[in-house]
Amino acid sequence: MADTAPSMKLTYEGAQKLLNAAVAKAREMNVPQCICIVDTGGHLLTMARMDGAFALSFKTALRKAQTSAAYGIPTGGVAPALEIKLAIGTDGDRINLFGGLPVIVDGHVIGGIGVGSGTGEQDREVAAAALAAIPGAKRFKPVPGPD
CB 104 within 8 A of CB 74: no
Q: Which element (helix H / strand E) includes 111?
A: strand 108-116
For residue 115, the model assigns a pLDDT of: 98
Give me the numbers of helices (H) and strands (E) for the chain, helices first please: 4, 4
What sign does the dihedral 56-80-38-124 (CA atoms) show? negative
How far CA 124 is from CA of 9, 22, 38, 85, 111, in Å, comes to 23, 10, 16, 23, 16
100: nearest Cα among 16, 18, 30, 32:
18
Q: What local confidence, expressed as pLDDT, does residue 1 receive? A: 86
Strand pairing report for 100-105 and 108-116: antiparallel
Tens digit of each residue's pLDDT, the chain (147 residues): 899 988 999 999 999 999 999 999 999 999 999 999 999 999 999 999 999 999 999 999 999 999 999 999 999 988 888 888 988 898 988 999 999 999 999 999 999 999 999 999 999 999 999 999 999 999 998 776 554
User: What are the sequence ranges of the domains in the chain?
Assistant: 12-131
- Supply the pLDDT for residue 147: 40
Whether the CB-CB separation of 72 and 118 falls below 8 Å is answered with no
The reported pTM is: 0.94
CATH class belonging to 12-131: alpha beta
Q: What is the pLDDT of residue 62?
A: 98
